Structure 1
Amino acid sequence: MQISFNRVQSLIMGFIIAMFGAVALAGAAEAQVTAFKQAVAEAASRDADIAAFYKANDYKPLWTGTFGKDTQRRKALFQAIAEADVHGLPGKRYDAEGLMAKLKAANTPRARGLVEVEMSKTFVELAQNMQTGALVPSKIDSGIVRSIPYRERSSYLVNFAKSNPNSFFRALPPKTPEYARLMKEKLRFEKLIASGGFGETVSAASLKPGQSGNAVIALRDRLGAMGYLGRSVSPSYDATIQKAVQEFQQDNGLVADGIAGAGTLKEINTSAADRLKSIIVAMERERWVNQERGRRHVLVNITDFSARIIDNGKVTFETRSVVGANDSERRTPEFSDVMEYLVINPTWNVPRSIATKEYLPMMKRNANAAGHLQLYDSRGRKVARSQINFSKYTESTFPYAIKQPPSKRNALGLVKFMFPNKYNIYLHDTPAKNLFSRETRAYSHGCIRLGDPFEFAYALLAKQSNDPKGEFHRYLKTGVESAVQLEQPVPVHLIYRTAFTDVKGGTHFRRDVYGRDAKIWNALQNAGVVLRAVQG
């Protein structure tokens, strides 16, 4: 069968037109891809980490594609933003509404590329905030010198791209029992606030067993709202109320005498909202230490005036402590380091700030002042005071080092525990034993004094000695300064928590001795964190 010339010509022309149509469609698709990639490259260029991620992935979409995985990622991101408030994070910072509006309005490849990068920036900020905190601690208070365990920003995108989206977000916050209990308490207090909080405050200067009246009724009802009393209609300060007051005092670091004195009533009258603020701050602080803390570690809570040894999550030793006084040069800083050794019969090398600001003025008035201290020149030679004209020196020109030799009167006592750091902070004994009986124990120059230093040493040495007490005292009896290495160095964490929990789920509150938590709350509030009242 022959095909006419016209028919052949028609078929050829149709083929040519189809080819050009396909090429045109391909060209249009390629142009769209190119426009998207160019927009991504342009928007990401101002953020090196995000730019590197997209470059390594040929500028392919993570959020704005049409594949099911992209849809899951978008949904997981917006869900995580919606739950930011649950973690005490500033939900408004992530602007879910604005992001969603831009996403819906992105009807061109370029617009999609721009919102793609914006979603990645929001994601990285949220992920980092959930894992290591919404604030930069050193910007809040100069005493918070902690190294935050920040992860590489690009790692969030890399790992998210190959993870289950929901599982990825669940893995970000701290996995410690403390964080979980704080979250639970946060929700409890939000419900409590929604139902009226702790009720009427107690209008009295002080109350004690045997009294009665409206103030005692307010005390009774307030303790009941806090969970320290069952239902009661007693108008008098009876044994049941006294016991409840004692329990409250124990949970709040107060002398547990069962008498509602001025200090106790101030704490009892603290509102549920203020307690919730402390819990939210504690959650932020927990994110700042979101890393492995050591199967065995030492935990010093500055506000609690305590030092503990923790083994596999359990407190195996606890003692009272004295911390830095509340002034600009004495407050104990917050950081973590590693204890390497202890020094028995230590020499006190007086810090220069103390030598020049405290002892030099004394010696100017009386050359023989503080006679328990010895002076040394720059070559380490002991210098007699009679050879020194103290009046000619200032804080900046004083050339001598001041030391106190080992003795029971030594300012460091008979043992110190060293985790070498640039802040010259360590744990140590003290001859001033009377301070440990006080309710508030902020008196030192910054180091942490221990109430039971010998027992603390025994507990540390028990891991490497069959007779830790005997070994310790063999060194002690010599009267000579001796360094004893820890075969397994122990991490030390100096923390500051005005709210913390126990294994039974109870929450303990402490006074904000340095005012640091107030600063943190203000910063969180300025960032957008709000107190919520949640209906039960």
Structure 2
Amino acid sequence: MHLSFPSPRARARSGLTGLLLLIAALTMALPGLARAQVTAFNQAVATAAAGDRDIAGFYKAVNYEGIWTGKDDRARRAALISALERAGDHGLPTARFSPDALKAKMDATKDPAALGRLEVEISALFLDYARSLQTGLLTPSRIDEGLVREVPYRARQSYLVNLMKSDPRGFFNALAPRTPEYTRLMKEKLRLETLIGRGGWGPTVAATKLEPGASGPSVIALRDRLAAMGFIGRSATQTYDAEIQSAVQQFQLAHGLSPDGVAGSGTLKELNASPERRLQSVIVAMERERWFNRPRGKRHVLVNLTDFKARIIDNNAVTFETRTVVGANQSDRRSPEFSDVMEFLVINPSWYVPRSIATKEYLPMLQENPNAVRHLEITDSNGRRIDRSAVDFTSLTEKTFPFAMREPPSQGNALGIVKFMFPNRYNIYLHDTPAKSLFSREVRAYSHGCIRLAEPREFAYALLARQTADPQGYFQSVLATGRETRVNLKQPVPVHIIYRTAYTQADGRTQFRRDVYGRDARIWAALAKEGVALRSVQG
């Protein structure tokens, strides 16, 4: 039977007119009961889809035919149900993506109009699941002002279009991030769920501090908990011996603690953390990995704020690593999370004081003493250096302060001898610092937001090695001039500033870090509100 549809121009008319034309054509083409059924289904699809522009656009393009509910759609339905059954494996809310609820609706729906409404409902569920799995359940910027990462969202309608063009199971298998990190996080999630199902790590350690040579019940609890975690073999020792000390050091390294082998208050706090808390960190890390579902670059710089480390990654391998100092845990100093591209470095940099620092920190000092902070130049809007004695700083406020402040190049410059630039609207970059003592601390959150490097020269050498045969010699020759000099990178390098309290290693333990800004706690609360729950696996 040949169906006569409206012309392309008629189909292009928006709203009810286009829909009525389509229904009229279907009605004229089909006799009796079949005509009523087709008309009811298509009309129900069009009406149900009208409230969602993307879904409505898709169904209009396919003449309001079904893609889920027909006899020829079995493979697509089966693939969707199979995918929903694995939603919990990805840390997604199982009630929201319940395959049993969907199957029950499918089995109970027979009426053509109800089937049309169900058709659209399934597409809405599919779009929700596909985007949640590929680019995250949450919108980062709604959780924390420091989550400024641009999530690589795909057009919603493209999921429906591409599903129609693909093998259904292959399409669903390709949705989640296809990174080694995501795969390893999923394995760690299952390991922790199994551990919880078996009772966890046993009793916590009731002590405030334990040192080598100690003995007694608390040492036994320490020994047993380290053994349950896999840091030491089973033994009967009741003394804090060399073997326990070594195990404590390995635990400390895996949790970003100073590896002194002493179970102090900080170490015991992390040691007593429950597997449920660690599982939360892993699920949050998986959500963050979905937000970050984009190519990183064969060579890129990765800064993990919670780990206080900056790394150069070449073809998935760490080729350089240095300690960092990151933004202090204060509302206007926390380092944001985002990605950009490093284009150049500046040797012998000037420090152009951010206005917030000039007005909040230095203006009060100048009001007390106009000759304060003499190492800083104060200039007017035309860049002319002003005579401090001619200015009444006490008459100025944060809003009316009209000057700029600059620290010229020097060894004591706040930026040290080099800064690494990836121009961005947050005015965040990597740089040297004269405050070297901070790098010896365990928690290194002290800056105004920029990332300070413990080994900036070596970092520069590693970057410049791609474009000069003698990167160290070149760097030192420019440095010796004392002049502020911009050096462009011939191959710009992506920079990714991330925040992971749980991350994996290709050939080692999953690493856990403290939630220095409380961001992961807020993300977990938001995930739980969406229905994400911890699971345990019996076995």
Under a length normalisation based on structure 2, what TM-score does the superposition of the two structures give?
A: 0.94
| Aligned equivalent of 2:355 | 352
Please point out which of 497, 501, 510 is paired with 2:500: 497
Please point out which of 271, 276, 279 is paired with 1:276: 279
Please point out which of 367, 372, 384 is paired with 1:381: 384
- Once the two structures are superposed, the pairs formed by residues 511-526 of structure 1 within 5 Å of their partners are 511-526=514-529
Measured in 1, the distance between the counterparts of 2:108 and 2:78 equals 17
1:60 shift after superposition: 1.4
Give the number of equivalent residue pairs.
512
| Aligned equivalent of 2:335 | 332
1:473 shift after superposition: 1.2
Please point out which of 80, 85, 89 is paired with 2:92: 89
| Aligned equivalent of 1:406 | 409
Query: Is residue 421 of structure 2 the alignment partner of residue 415 of structure 1?
Result: no
1:505 shift after superposition: 4.1
| Aligned equivalent of 2:17 | none
Measured in 2, the distance between the counterparts of 1:196 and 1:95 equals 27
Measured in 1, the distance between the counterparts of 2:148 and 2:336 equals 7
Measured in 2, the distance between the counterparts of 1:309 and 1:403 equals 30
Q: Contact conserved, 2:87 with 2:97, CA < 8 A, in 1?
A: no
Query: Is residue 24 of structure 2 the alignment partner of residue 28 of structure 1?
Result: no
Query: Is residue 249 of structure 2 the alignment partner of residue 246 of structure 1?
Result: yes
Query: Is residue 106 of structure 2 the alignment partner of residue 116 of structure 1?
Result: no
1:24 shift after superposition: 11
SS in structure 2 opposite 1:215? helix
1:97 shift after superposition: 3.8
1:440 shift after superposition: 0.4
Measured in 2, the distance between the counterparts of 1:247 and 1:232 equals 17
Please point out which of 59, 72, 75 is paired with 1:72: 75
| Aligned equivalent of 2:476 | 473
| Aligned equivalent of 1:428 | 431
The structure that has the greater radius of gyration is 1
Measured in 1, the distance between the counterparts of 2:197 and 2:236 equals 24
Please point out which of 310, 317, 321 is paired with 1:318: 321
SS in structure 2 opposite 1:94? coil
| Aligned equivalent of 1:46 | 51
| Aligned equivalent of 1:4 | none
Deviations 1:219-255 (A, max 9, x none): 0000011110111111110111000000001111111
Measured in 2, the distance between the counterparts of 1:93 and 1:107 equals 23
Matched-pair identity in %:
64
Q: Contact conserved, 1:322 with 1:449, CA < 8 A, in 2?
A: yes
Larger mean Cα displacement after TM superposition, 191-200 or 424-433: 191-200
Deviations 1:171-225 (A, max 9, x none): 0111111111110010000011111111111111100111100000000000011
| Aligned equivalent of 2:42 | 37
Measured in 2, the distance between the counterparts of 1:122 and 1:440 equals 43
1:535 shift after superposition: 1.5
Equivalent AA in structure 2 for residue 305 of structure 1 = F
SS in structure 2 opposite 1:50? helix
Deviations 1:258-314 (A, max 9, x none): 111111111101111101110110011011100101000000000000000000000
Q: Contact conserved, 2:137 with 2:287, CA < 8 A, in 1?
A: yes
- Once the two structures are superposed, the pairs formed by residues 55-66 of structure 1 within 5 Å of their partners are 55-66=60-71
Q: Contact conserved, 2:29 with 2:35, CA < 8 A, in 1?
A: no
Q: List runs of 5+ in structure 2 lacking aligned partners.
A: 1-27
Measured in 2, the distance between the counterparts of 1:167 and 1:26 equals 40
Deviations 1:23-58 (A, max 9, x none): 997343222112111111111111111111111111
1:109 shift after superposition: 1.2
1:156 shift after superposition: 0.5
Query: Is residue 365 of structure 2 the alignment partner of residue 362 of structure 1?
Result: yes
1:90 shift after superposition: 1.1
| Aligned equivalent of 2:448 | 445
